[in-house]
Amino acid sequence: MEKEIHIFWTRIEQEAIDQFNNVMRLENVVKWALMPDAHTGYVLPIWGVVAVKGAIYPAFIWYDIWCWVLAMKTDYILSDFKSDKREKIFNSIYRSIPCWEGRFRDKPLIEPDQIMSFDHTWVAEEAMIKWINQIWTLGWWNHFIEIAYDEDKAVWIVVHSWSRWVWHRIASVYMKVAKEKQNIDTGKFEKEFENIEEFKSLKKLDLEKYEEIKWNYIDKKLKEFTKWSNEWTYWLDADSEDWKNYILDMNFWLEFALLNRFEMLKLVARDLDYYLKWTTEIKDYINRNHNHAELRDWLWIHRKWATHAELWMLWVIPGNMRDWSFIVRWKWNPDSLFSSSHGGWRAMSRNKAKETVSMDEFEKSMKWITAKVTHQTLDESPMAYKNIFKVMELQSDLVDVIHHLKPIINIKW
């Protein structure tokens, strides 16, 4: 079967190419696009986009579902942020919004009923009850809150966050369900065999021989399937009960992630207003995600850390703690499967960054930015990431840059 493939990146490591080839061999995967800076991920290359017919692969979306970047332009300007105010705002945001992997609020800021009104299954409800204290918390690693200014000196709030550990639970359950279904469901191969003309008469003449050949055929097909499938390339058939449940819970956690990010935006605005003596109106904010599946033209588009793109959309492509983020608009390029890169990935592992980047180098790189510049955040230093400007050059056929955002304050654990 001829498949449509579009690659917007030239320097791809062999492991990512192998992942790409393995996924393309799957029968229901019909289109592929690799965004700039695509590289090895879990199951599917990160910055990969695939179009699947009649199924969803939970592992193609993985655990970080509904990870979004939000940005909102405020009425403040750069000159409002004097050095003494920056430090106070920085500390206040850290107090307002818990960070790091294990951080919870002492008590939930909402009741479960406030979000349980959206349709969901027992899987989502169980996760919500357990993890509700993580609402209005940031997370860790590459997730961040930033106060930045654009080319006109206007100040923006930027928030990069996800649905925290609740989605880890959901993803784990449905990846396991998909694997179990594929392991035991041989009905597809049985139907294929029954439609082979040369064996139809054998069924009447020698049923025992027919069954023997049939199961040899099924066994061969299963081996072919697993040869090209690593541990998690299992799908949920469209319109199956498990598929419907996955869609329900995926959209349920969309609402959770939206609520979490919106409430953090309000908390940051509150802290700015307290120290700058103004009132920020929450309006016209940009909010786009980069880990999800959506139905388009009868195909399920899976985006693995790639951002959904439409002509009418604006979205944020973040840089690092020091370098610019970009407010962009999509150029009409359907070859990208209506997607763009989410940013620049790591240039080195966290351990390597801590071994090779010096604190002196880190401190100098962050000289004019108020941020947590310590050994703890060394693995998030600008030197640990790829050059975002080169990544943006590579996707000049995909996006137009509307604004450049330069950090003033960075909140990261």
Q: Which residues are annotated as catalytic?
A: 342
First to last CA, the chain: 47
E strand or H helix at 20, and its extent? helix 14-24
Residue 122 to residues 99, 240, 249, 251, Cα–Cα distance (Å): 28, 17, 9, 14
> Per the annotation, does 264 bind a ligand?
no
* Backbone torsions φ then ψ of 163, nearest 5 degrees: -95, 20
* Backbone torsions φ then ψ of 315, nearest 5 degrees: -155, 175
Strands 299-304 and 55-56: unpaired
> Per the annotation, does 142 bind a ligand?
yes
> Per the annotation, does 320 bind a ligand?
yes
E strand or H helix at 68, and its extent? strand 68-77
How far is C-alpha 185 from the geometric centre of its chain's CA atoms? Answer: 30
> Per the annotation, does 143 bind a ligand?
yes
Closest CA to 368 of 153, 83, 144: 83
Closest CA to 251 of 137, 341, 121, 159: 121
E strand or H helix at 294, and its extent? strand 291-296
> Per the annotation, does 325 bind a ligand?
yes
- HEC secondary structure over 94-163: HHHCCCCCCCCCCCCCCCCHHHHCCCCCHHHHHHHHHHHHHCCCCCCCCCEEEEEECCCCEEEEEEEECC
> Per the annotation, does 319 bind a ligand?
yes
* Backbone torsions φ then ψ of 97, nearest 5 degrees: -125, 105
> How far, in Å, CA of 300 to CA of 296, rounded?
6
Q: Are 404 and 326 in contact (CB under 8 A)?
A: yes
> Per the annotation, does 160 bind a ligand?
yes
Dihedral, 50, 53, 58, 63 alpha carbons, nearest 10: 30
> Per the annotation, does 310 bind a ligand?
no
> Per the annotation, does 333 bind a ligand?
no
> Per the annotation, does 145 bind a ligand?
yes
> Per the annotation, does 223 bind a ligand?
no
> How far, in Å, CA of 53 to CA of 38, rounded?
23
Annotated binding site for Mn(2+): 64, 143, 160
Annotated binding site for GMP: 142-146, 318-321, 325, 412
Annotated binding site: 64, 142-146, 160, 318-321, 325, 412
